[in-house]
Amino acid sequence: MPIDETREFIPLNIAVLTVSDTRSAEDDKSGDVLAERIVQAGHKVAARRIVPDDKELIRAALKSWIASHDVDAVISTGGTGLTGRDVTPEAFRSVYDKEIDGFSVLFHRVSFEKIGTSTIQSRATAGVAGGTYLFALPGSPGACKDGWDEILVHQLDYRFRPCNFVEIMPRLEEHKLRK
């Protein structure tokens, strides 16, 4: 899909959330992948945090960023699998105003091309809450690369055609204007 060079790039403030019981700032490879790609694309890493696989701690991080005027989008890595500790999708869905169903579908299509049927073990999800985009990717660096390189780099670029998430940002909360 083409980039419309007549449109000016709009940098976004994107928070990166790593969900893991075992990662630290020193070995957060997936968080590093996302942060590097965000900056390379011209956006700003507005915040970065690591939280354990705990639904309430994930929710708290999301809610603080949703309430912040300094965060346009949140991208998380980790906790989207099937084990008992994987609760990222549940935490994300509990704060959504609207789910972006197509994100999961498209992520699985991209992932299938790389890892085949193993993609079925991911519960990648996306939505919007309080005018903030929320994207939950699996915890592997490869999945983060795929999610960013194949989907998010385009949808978070105002110049991407025929449409993108950035151009509809001003309308995400228009329901609050209705009487």
Two structure tokens written together for 68? 């912040």
Please indicate, yes or no, if residue 106 is contained in any of the structural domains. yes
Please indicate, yes or no, if residue 179 is contained in any of the structural domains. no
What's the domain range around 115?
A: 13-169
Q: pTM of the predicted model, to two decimals?
A: 0.96
Mean pLDDT by 10 residues, the chain (179 residues): 92 98 95 98 98 98 97 98 96 98 98 96 97 97 98 98 96 75
Please indicate, yes or no, if residue 76 is contained in any of the structural domains. yes
CATH number for the domain harbouring residue 116: 3.40.980.10
List the alpha helices (DSSP H) in 76-127. Answer: 88-93, 101-115
Cβ-contact 4, 159 below 8 angstroms:
yes
Total domains in the chain come to: 1
- Give the bridge partners for 125, in sequence order: 136
Please indicate, yes or no, if residue 90 is contained in any of the structural domains. yes
Please indicate, yes or no, if residue 57 is contained in any of the structural domains. yes
The pairing of beta strand 44-51 with beta strand 13-19: parallel
DSSP tag of 8 = P
